[in-house]
Amino acid sequence: MAELSVRSVLVTGANRGIGLGFVQHFLRMPKPPQWIFAGCRDPKGQRAKELQNLASKHPNIIIIPLEVSDPASIKAAAAKVGEHLGGSGLNLLINNAAILKVRTLDAETLEDMSEVYTTNTIGPLLMAQAFLPLLKKAAQGSPSSGLSCSKAAIVNISSNGGSISSLYAWEIIQSTSYRCSKAALNMLSKCQSLAYKEHGILCVALHPGWVQTDMGNSPGQVPPTTVDESVQGMLKVLSTLSEKETGAFLDWEGKVIPW
């Protein structure tokens, strides 16, 4: 199995939970990326302390102010990342940031439906649009012919909660706004895979498992999977992907999830 080996990666929502886990695991790789861009909406805030600490010890971590529901913030982040990269491209974009509103169907509101869709679905769309030139550049600069996450890829962190055929854990948590946003994110991933294949960019929707984070804990039960297990599993899955899997919806163990 080929190792995942990237020169540059950007992770959104990198200050806690699974996003921070990605940053930590990239650092621990035998050949860590030269640039780990850690998107964070409040880099100086209390919730970014652990990330700031890590960045102070590892010069390859660059904290990028990034609010994924704000097109101006995304544009500024893309410009900043481009400056750091000089002439080279971005290999891997991990759209990880998301929100969950725990509500019953009866209690869903226009505001929550909009906010969740804007963050979880429109955010990844705008991120991919803004970073496309850098992803294309990475693909063009790669000597390999097929698609791979080491070359150029968009990884949308989705959820089996967005699977229409499984409707995972409906009895525990309804959160219709979240489910709709992730079902739409899956469709977005498929569309991106079709549009970006010709540019040499792999696109995938990835379910991280039910993971011990603030979001994972919110239904009030202890999730079975740790951040470390989830991220390690996802990185292993990413290392195996090729053009066969672009546009797929997979879980952290590499299993195909029904749409």
- Would you tell me which residues interact with ligand NDP (CB under 6 A)? 12-13, 15-19, 41-42, 47, 66-69, 96-99, 119, 157, 159, 207-208, 210-211, 213-216, 223
CA-wise closest residue to 62 among 99, 104, 27: 27
Closest contact distance (angstroms) between CB of 191 and ligand NDP is 18
Give dist(CA 167, CA 129) in Å, integer. Answer: 30
Encode burial over 149-158: b for 16+ CB neighbours within 10 A, e otherwise. Answer: bbbbbbbbbb
Could you tell me the smallest distance in angstroms from the CB atom of residue 106 to ligand NDP? 23
CA distance 203 to 109: 31
In the bound state with ligand NDP, the residue whose beta carbon lies nearer, of 3 and 42, is 42
Q: Rounded to the nearest whole angstrom, what is the least distance from the CB of residue 221 to ligand NDP in the complex?
A: 11
Shortest Å, Cβ 227 to ligand NDP = 7
Closer to ligand NDP by CB, 141 or 223: give it: 223
- Rounded Cα distance between 169 and 41, Å, is 30
Q: For residues 93 and 139, which CB has a smaller minimum distance to ligand NDP in the complex? A: 93
Which residue lies nearer to ligand NDP by CB, 41 or 101? 41
Distance in angstroms (rounded) separating the CA atoms of residues 244 and 202: 10
Encoded amino acid at 167, one letter = L
Q: How far is the CB of 100 from ligand NDP (least distance, A)?
A: 6
Phi and psi at 73, nearest 5°, equal -65, -40
Smallest separation (angstroms) from ligand NDP to the CB of 210: 4
Closest-CB residue for ligand NDP? 17
Pick 96 or 176: Cβ nearer ligand NDP: 96
d(CA 128, CA 93): 8
Closer residue to ligand NDP (CB): 89 or 124:
124
Rounded Cα–Cα distance for residues 116 and 108 (Å): 11
